[in-house]
């Protein structure tokens, strides 16, 4: 199964504003780059055949290039960025979209989703509150539109259902933690402590 991973990232100067009460803009940028490092570590160690990072931010693109993955400089919204490369992803059997802020993800999460795609067209991994989408796998890669943003989980389920696609919900305590708020951050740090996990993003807080 030939799969492509897609990581759309907006400009980091505007990222994680909900953490502004506990982290400076510089620390929020560092956090994003460290989380992206964790995500890239997981995806590049998985069964994916190719990975592409889409962003207008040179810091993001340079990090992607350091991992040897494709980097596309374009300033669009998340869904527009994914649609922008639809001709590229058509060369693959499936596409897997992940955000940068799920740093607990492991290669096994991606590999299990690829294995599930043998029997399903759409695999969705929801956020902890069951509102967001933290992983979206589509087979074929452009079998449906993406709706990342508010209430994306329901929108993706509804769209896949409308198109008659076979859906599987992939529930993972690691993947479900996307870091947008201080509560999310505390949950991620607690998970790392309890499971004795070393992740790049944790280094930002160990240094404080």
Mind listing the pLDDT tens digit for each residue in 125-160?
A: 999 999 999 999 999 999 999 999 999 999 999 999
- Judge whether residue 208 has pLDDT over 80: no
Q: What average pLDDT score do residues 171-187 get?
A: 95
Strand bridging mode 133-138 / 122-126? antiparallel
Tokens coding 148: 């990342």
Round the average pLDDT of the chain to a whole number and report it: 96
Residue carrying the six token digits 């889409």: 54
Q: Residues of the chain with pLDDT > 90: what percent?
A: 97
Element (H, E) at 159: helix 152-162
Longest Cα separation, the chain:
50
Question: What range does the domain containing 109 cover?
Answer: 3-206
- Full-model pTM: 0.95
Residue carrying the six token digits 């160690």: 45
Cα separation, 206 vs 200, in Å, equals 10
The SS3 call for residue 125 is strand
By C-alpha distance, which of 140, 5, 131, 144 is closest to 83? 144
Q: How many domains does the chain have?
A: 1
Residues 16 and 61: beta-carbon distance below 8 Å: no
Residues 122 and 143: beta-carbon distance below 8 Å: yes
The predicted structure's pLDDT at residue 206: 81
Output the domain CATH number for residue 127.
3.90.550.10
The SS3 call for residue 200 is helix
């Amino acid at each position: 199964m030939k799969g492509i991973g897609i990581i759309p990232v907006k400009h980091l100067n505007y990222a994680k504003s909900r953490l502004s009460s506990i982290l400076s803009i510089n620390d929020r940028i560092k956090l994003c780059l460290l989380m992206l490092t964790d995500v890239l570590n997981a995806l590049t160690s998985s069964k994916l055949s190719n990975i592409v990072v889409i962003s207008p931010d040179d810091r993001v693109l340079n990090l992607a290039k350091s991992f040897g993955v494709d980097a596309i400089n374009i300033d669009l919204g998340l869904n527009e960025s994914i649609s922008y490369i639809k001709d590229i992803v058509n060369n693959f059997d499936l596409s897997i979209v992940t955000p940068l802020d799920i740093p607990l993800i492991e290669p096994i999460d991606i590999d299990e989703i690829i294995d599930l795609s043998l029997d399903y067209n759409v695999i969705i991994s929801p956020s902890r509150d069951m509102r967001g989408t933290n992983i979206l796998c589509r087979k074929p890669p452009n079998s449906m539109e993406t709706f990342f943003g508010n209430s994306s989980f329901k929108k993706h389920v509804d769209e896949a259902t409308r198109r008659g696609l076979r859906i599987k919900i992939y529930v993972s305590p690691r993947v479900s933690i996307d870091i947008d708020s201080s509560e999310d951050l505390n949950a991620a740090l607690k998970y790392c402590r309890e499971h004795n996990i070393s992740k790049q993003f944790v280094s930002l807080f160990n240094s404080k």
